[in-house]
């Protein structure tokens, strides 16, 4: 259980894959945690169902106004545009890196590890992702594996990664377990 723990969900203003945001969010809530939506801009974020616009979600805080010290863990949902935009935002990259520096658990799914590459936190770690990120992750010093979920404890923190929406059940369980440790 992660009763009372606050988990940040970092997403760009537009482009997050909705199910990769909503399913881990529900898993955190069901485990007794408190999810908070963090973005690079205030207001709301636009989610997508693949390439089609889906729902919008209100932002609780901006990456500029918070730090890892405010949270017990971090979820990085995927979608192609979401992590591609986040890795170009210095405040988002700084925010992600803080979790690794503080030894706090991080969970990233699908294309989200692009942001981890930019934060330079995958070197020496074993990860999985959407297959098209394999070369990027290897070039950043990670060992890439093709499996449903990878829990890597061989670093400063627990890092949970998954490949795609079909892996969400295993991803959510591994993330909640990591946040409860």
Average pLDDT on 126-131 reads 98
> What CATH number corresponds to the domain at position 123?
3.40.50.880
Average pLDDT, the chain: 97
H or E, element range at 62:
strand 61-62
1 lies in some domain? no
Assess contact for 180 and 31: CB atoms under 8 A: yes
pLDDT grade for 36, boundaries at 50, 70 and 90: very high
Q: Read off the pLDDT band of 1 (50, 70, 90).
A: confident
- Predicted local distance difference test score (pLDDT) of residue 154: 86
DSSP state at residue 29: H
Confidence (pLDDT) at 57: 98
Is 86 a domain residue?
yes
The count of structural domains within the chain is 1
**Residue 111 a catalytic site member:** yes
Q: Are strands 61-62 and 34-39 parallel, antiparallel or unpaired?
A: parallel
Catalytic: which of 50, 110, 152, 172? 110
3-state helix, strand, coil in the chain (%, to 5): 40, 30, 35
Cα separation, 91 vs 76, in Å, equals: 15
Q: Is this structure's pTM higher than 0.95?
A: yes
pLDDT surpasses 90 at 22: yes
86: three-class secondary structure by DSSP: helix
Q: What is the pLDDT of residues 57-105, one digit of tens each?
A: 999 999 999 999 999 999 999 999 999 999 999 999 999 999 999 999 9
Q: Is residue 110 assigned to a domain?
A: yes
Cβ neighbours, 10 Å, residue 123: 10
CB atoms closer than 10 angstroms to residue 44 = 15
* In-domain check, residue 23: yes
Given the residues 50, 111, 152, 172, the one annotated as active site: 111
- Which range marks the domain in which residue 46 is found? 6-180
Could you give the angle at which helices 168-180 and 18-30 cross, rounded to 10 degrees? Answer: 40
Annotated active-site residue 50? The verdict is no
């Amino acid at each position: 259980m992660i009763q009372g723990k606050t988990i940040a969900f970092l997403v760009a203003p537009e482009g997050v894959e909705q199910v990769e945001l909503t399913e881990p969010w529900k898993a955190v809530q069901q485990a007794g945690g408190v999810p908070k939506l963090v973005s690079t801009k205030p207001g709301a974020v636009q989610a997508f169902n693949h390439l089609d616009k889906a729902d919008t979600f209100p932002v609780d805080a901006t990456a500029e106004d918070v730090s890892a010290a405010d949270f017990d863990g971090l979820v990085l949902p995927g979608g192609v545009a979401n992590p591609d935009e986040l890795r170009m935002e210095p405040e988002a990259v700084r925010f992600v890196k803080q979790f690794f520096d503080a030894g706090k658990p991080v969970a990233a799914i699908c294309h989200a590890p692009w942001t981890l590459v930019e934060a330079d936190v995958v070197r020496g770690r074993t990860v999985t992702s959407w297959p098209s990120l394999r070369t990027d992750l290897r070039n950043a010093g990670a060992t890439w594996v093709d499996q449903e979920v990878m829990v890597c404890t061989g670093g400063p923190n627990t890092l949970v990664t998954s490949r795609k929406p079909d892996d969400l059940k295993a991803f959510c369980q591994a993330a909640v377990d990591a946040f409860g440790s």
